[in-house]
Amino acid sequence: MKDLESLSAFQAAKKLAKREIKATDLLLACLDQIGQRENIVKAWASLGKENALARAKALDKGAIKGLLHGLPIGIKDLFDTHDLPTSYGSPIYANYYPRTDAVSVALIRQAGGIILGKTVTTEFASFKSSSTTNPHHSEHTPGGSSSGSAAAVADFMAPLATGSQTAGSIIRPASFCGIVGYKPSFGKISVAGVKSLAPTLDTIGIFGRCIEDVALGVAVMSGDHELANVVDLHNKPRVAVLKTPGWQYASPDTRGAIALARFSAETFAKGKVSDIDLPAELHQLTQIQTRIMLSEMSRSLAFERMQYSKKLSNLVASQIDQGAAIEYKQYKLDLDQAITARKMMQNLFDENVDLIIAPSAIGEAPLAKEGTGDPLFCRSWTLLGLPCINLNVSSGHNGLPIGVQLIAAYGKDQFLLSAARALALALPDPVLRDQA
8 A C-beta contact, residue 66 and residue 111: yes
Q: How far apart are CA 51 and CA 238, in angstroms?
A: 48
Going by DSSP bridges, is the β-strand pair 180-183/203-208 parallel, antiparallel, or unpaired?
antiparallel
405 forms beta bridges with: 358, 390
274 forms beta bridges with: 240
Burial grade of 335 (CB within 10 A; 0-12, 13-18, 19 or more):
middle
- Which position among 8, 129, 145, 146 bears the catalytic label? 145
Q: How far apart are CA 196 and CA 218, in angstroms?
A: 19
Indicate if 188 belongs to the active site. no
8 A C-beta contact, residue 389 and residue 406: yes
Q: How far apart are CA 174 and CA 179, in angstroms?
A: 5
Q: What are phi and psi of 103, to 5 degrees?
A: -55, -45
8 A C-beta contact, residue 243 and residue 358: yes
Indicate if 145 belongs to the active site. yes
Q: How far apart are CA 144 and CA 163, in angstroms?
A: 10
> How far lies 322's CA from each of 62, 301, 326, in Å?
53, 13, 7
Burial grade of 235 (CB within 10 A; 0-12, 13-18, 19 or more):
exposed
Q: Which residues contact 60 (CB under 8 A, 6 or more apart)?
A: 22, 23, 24, 70
8 A C-beta contact, residue 190 and residue 284: no
- Which position among 90, 169, 295, 360 bears the catalytic label? 169
- Which position among 8, 22, 42, 76 bears the catalytic label? 76
Indicate if 329 belongs to the active site. no
| Total residues found in the chain within this entry | 436
Going by DSSP bridges, is the β-strand pair 355-359/239-241 parallel, antiparallel, or unpaired?
parallel
391 forms beta bridges with: 404
Q: How far apart are CA 198 and CA 193, in angstroms?
A: 14
Q: What are phi and psi of 285, to 5 degrees?
A: -60, -40
Active-site residue list: 76, 145, 169
